[in-house]
Amino acid sequence: MPGLIIKSNIKKTVEELQKGKEENEKVSSVADEVGRALDRKVEGVLLTAIERAKANKRRTLQARDL
Q: What is the pLDDT of residues 4-45, one digit of tens each?
A: 888 889 999 999 999 999 999 999 899 989 999 999 999 999
CA-derived radius of gyration, the chain = 16
Helices (H), the chain: 7-17, 33-55
Whether the Cβ atoms of residue 4 and residue 37 lie closer than 8 Å to each other: no
The span from the CA of 28 to the CA of 50, in Å, is 36
Can you give the pTM of this predicted structure?
0.78
Q: By C-alpha distance, which of 57, 55, 53 is closest to 66?
A: 53
